[in-house]
Structures are given as structure tokens and as C-alpha cells.
């Protein structure tokens, strides 16, 4: 029995890794749309169509629950997919929810009026598509008041990570943090709004300084998924789990193994 995890590339492996540690008895079927990565530079319709195709593939393979472990897909496609209708017995969830819950210290289902929260100045680092969608700001505004969010589109970081060029990725992180600080000199918290970015968490923290709390998604999503499956055990589905890619399996396998520092093997989707 497996839960589906979808990402445009390898970034969702940070979510998978945390989920496997938290839920060792649960199987996961990971689907990387490597052929079309990165999503962060695509338009909203393109992202929606690619995401819907991938999620349908996972549903067809027996996953009742699919996690969009891709902030760009969550921002551009999740609400639209839910509004279009999800097959009976199937669910698709995004990675924004646990992050918003942590930042606002309230459950997603809490529909009370927005209220003040402790953190007032938030730096958001994300892909260009996620930034342009303003999905994070929209969801945050439903639950909190008086929070100033300054977003920085981090072009090039995902590409560098996917190519395994961590030196370039670190240099880009420092550049993007410098650009953000010119707009918001003293952020209280920083959101790593892309599942690739936890791999660069130390670089973000160093560039931001020790007084800035950095929120990363892997552990938050794993904790939220654990709670969800306890309440909805029927969502485990009947897939056997594994790793799928629309790209070249050998190439993706090599990069993923480097990415997670353990051997995993991708098959063609």
C-alpha cells in the first residue's frame, strides 16, 4: 500500500525522505516529471496540465492519496484540480498547508477570523511561478493579519541542484538572499518555498543570519501526513511503491542517489 508523491523533479525527495523516516511502514510511489522540469518557469495552464496528467497516472497506479511535493504545482494547480473535481475515493494535497499551519499556529480547518501572529516580517524564497501566483500570500491572509511577506524569485537554483552543481546553487542562494534583504532588511522568518531548497538550508541560514528562523517543508509535511493517515487509513491505496520518472531513468537514478546520498532506482513512467 502506497501514498503517491509527485514533483517536477528531485526536490520532492526531501519530502519523501522525511516521510519515510516518520512512517517506515508506509510505502511511497514517487513520480518525477523530469522530462518537463523545472516547472517554476512555466505558465499556470502548462503547470496545471502537466500536474493533472502526473496525478492521474499515480491514481491509475493505485495511489488513493497524492501529495504535490512541489510548491509550484501546489500554487498553480491544486486549487484548480480540486475545483474541477477529484474522483471518488481519491485525494490530492499540497505542501503549503503544513507550512501555513506552522507559521500561524492554527489548524487548516480553523475557520475563525484572521488574527495577529508572532512573526510579522516573512521572507519567501520560491520559484518564479510560485512567486507570481501569490498563493502563499493568499492562504496566509485568510488566517493572519499584519504579516508583511516579501517574496524573492530564486531563478536558477532548482536547475543548479538538479544538475548537481551545489557550488553554483550556493552562490545563487547568497545572491537571492542579498536581493531580498535590500527589500526587507530584517526578516524574522524565512520560508523555503520549494522542496529543492531544504538541500540548501544551511546556505540560506548562513546568508540570512542566526536570528532568522528558517521554515523548511520536509518535516512539517511528514508530521501532517502522519496525522492525516491516522484519521484516514483508507487513503493508503494498493500501489506497491517505487520510483518513476518521465526522464531518462539512468540519469535520474544517478542524480537522485547523489541527492539523497543513498541508492534508489528510477523506472520509466
Residues designated as active site: 70, 194
Known binding residue 40? Answer is yes
Helix 249-260, helix 13-22: angle, nearest 10: 60
Known binding residue 250? Answer is no
Known binding residue 53? Answer is no
Asked if 54 contacts 6 with a C-beta cutoff of 8 angstroms, the reply is yes
Diameter over CA atoms, the chain: 50
Strands 242-245 and 189-192: unpaired
* CA distance linking residue 176 with residue 155, whole number of Å: 9
Cα separations in angstroms, 223 against 1, 21, 76, 83, 100 = 19, 10, 24, 26, 13
Known binding residue 195? Answer is yes
Known binding residue 7? Answer is yes
Count of beta carbons in the 10 Å neighbourhood of residue 200: 23
If we measure between CA atoms, which residue out of 205, 225, 229 comes closest to residue 215?
205
* CA distance linking residue 27 with residue 158, whole number of Å: 27
Known binding residue 74? Answer is no
Known binding residue 39? Answer is yes
* CA distance linking residue 6 with residue 88, whole number of Å: 20
Q: Which residues are paired to 124 by β-bridges? A: 151, 191
Asked if 164 contacts 258 with a C-beta cutoff of 8 angstroms, the reply is yes
Known binding residue 30? Answer is no
Residues marked as binding for substrate?
A: 7-8, 39-40, 71-72, 195-196
Residues marked as binding?
A: 7-8, 39-40, 71-72, 195-196
Amino acid at each position: 500500500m502506497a501514498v503517491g508523491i509527485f514533483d517536477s523533479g528531485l526536490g520532492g525527495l526531501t519530502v519523501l525522505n522525511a516521510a519515510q523516516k516518520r512512517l517506515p511502514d508506509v510505502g511511497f510511489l514517487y513520480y518525477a516529471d523530469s522530462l518537463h522540469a523545472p516547472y517554476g518557469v512555466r505558465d499556470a495552464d502548462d503547470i496545471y496540465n502537466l500536474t493533472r496528467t502526473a496525478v492521474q497516472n499515480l491514481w491509475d497506479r493505485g495511489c488513493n492519496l497524492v501529495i504535490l511535493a512541489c510548491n509550484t504545482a501546489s500554487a498553480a494547480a491544486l486549487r484548480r484540480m480540486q475545483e474541477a473535481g477529484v474522483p471518488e475515493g481519491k485525494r490530492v494535497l499540497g505542501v503549503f498547508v503544513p507550512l501555513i499551519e506552522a507559521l500561524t499556529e492554527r489548524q487548516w480547518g480553523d475557520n475563525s477570523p484572521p488574527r495577529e501572529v508572532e512573526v510579522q516580517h516573512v521572507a519567501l524564497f520560491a520559484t518564479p511561478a510560485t512567486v507570481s501566483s501569490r498563493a502563499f500570500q493568499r492562504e496566509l491572509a485568510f488566517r493572519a493579519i499584519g504579516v508583511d511577506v516579501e517574496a524573492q524569485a530564486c531563478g536558477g537554483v532548482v536547475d543548479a541542484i538538479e544538475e548537481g552543481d551545489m557550488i553554483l546553487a550556493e552562490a545563487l542562494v547568497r545572491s537571492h538572499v542579498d536581493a531580498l534583504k535590500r527589500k526587507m532588511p530584517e526578516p524574522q522568518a524565512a520560508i523555503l518555498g520549494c522542496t529543492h531548497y531544504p538541500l540548501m538550508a544551511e546556505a540560506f541560514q548562513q546568508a540570512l543570519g542566526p536570528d532568522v528562523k528558517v521554515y523548511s517543508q520536509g518535516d512539517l509535511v511528514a508530521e501532517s501526513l502522519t496525522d492525516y493517515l491516522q484519521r484516514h487509513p483508507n487513503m493508503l491505496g494498493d500501489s506497491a511503491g517505487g520510483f518513476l520518472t518521465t526522464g531518462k531513468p539512468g540519469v535520474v537514478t544517478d542524480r537522485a542517489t547523489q541527492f539523497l546520498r543513498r541508492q534508489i532506482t528510477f523506472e520509466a513512467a
